[in-house]
A = this chain, B = another copy of it.
Amino acid sequence: MEDEVDRLVAAWRRERPDLDVEPLEVLSRVSRLARHLDRARRTAFAEHALEPWEFDVLTALRRAGAPYQLSPGQLLTQTLVTSGTMTNRIDRLAGKGLVQRLPDPDDRRGVLVRLTQGGQERADAALAGLLDHERAILGELSPSQRDDLAALLRQLVAPFDNLAD
């Protein structure tokens, strides 16, 4: 089946026949698919009354394992936002009762952000919902195609992930 990138590439071949636009076949599809996935995620989370950024923070804490707490600095590195943004996010999540701020007993400059019981439940439910949605999207592919795709993508991502960011 044809997609928007096929149309995009055709337009460039018509307007710029001198250029090799083959890289777009892969990388434009990655970008466009990511945009669609963002929208799908937003929809999936709305069923649990969560914004994507809330999910990102809550699940980072959930993945940390009991007692489900991290410093703001650790959350920064996991979510790739700036410190000002994280302060704002923690404020709002604390206001909703999904996390609480605790003083770090070992460092009086520091703070620990801990998932509340309610926050953990919301995170767990939203993750399950997200995975259901994503399984539906991947229904287009056979199990072996999924494995192939994951392996190819890993090859492209790994150089970025293993570089000092």
A contact set with B: CB distance below 8 Å: 1-6, 8, 11-12, 14-16, 19-27, 29-38, 62-63, 65, 80, 124, 127-128, 131, 134-135, 137-138, 140-141, 145-146, 148-150, 152-162
| B23 with A30: CB separation less than 8 A | no
**Cβ contacts A to B, 10 pairs, < 8 Å:** A4-B161, A12-B63, A14-B65, A15-B65, A24-B131, A26-B138, A27-B134, A30-B30, A30-B34, A33-B153
Q: Which B-chain residue is minimally distant from A11 (CB atoms)?
A: B63
User: Which residue from B3, B35, B127, B158 sits with its C-beta under 8 Å from A162?
Assistant: B3
User: Which residue from B3, B131, B150, B156 sits with its C-beta under 8 Å from A158?
Assistant: B3
| A37 with B32: CB separation less than 8 A | no
Q: How far is the CB of A101 from chain B (nearest CB, A)?
A: 22
Q: How far is the CB of A62 from chain B (nearest CB, A)?
A: 7
| B63 with A8: CB separation less than 8 A | yes
User: Which residue from B5, B62, B156, B161 sits with its C-beta under 8 Å from A138?
Assistant: B156
C-alpha spacing A35/B153, complex, angstroms: 13
With contact pairs A25-B146, A25-B150 given, residues A19 and B131 touching in the complex (Cβ less than 8 Å): yes
With contact pairs A3-B162, A4-B157 given, residues A27 and B19 touching in the complex (Cβ less than 8 Å): no
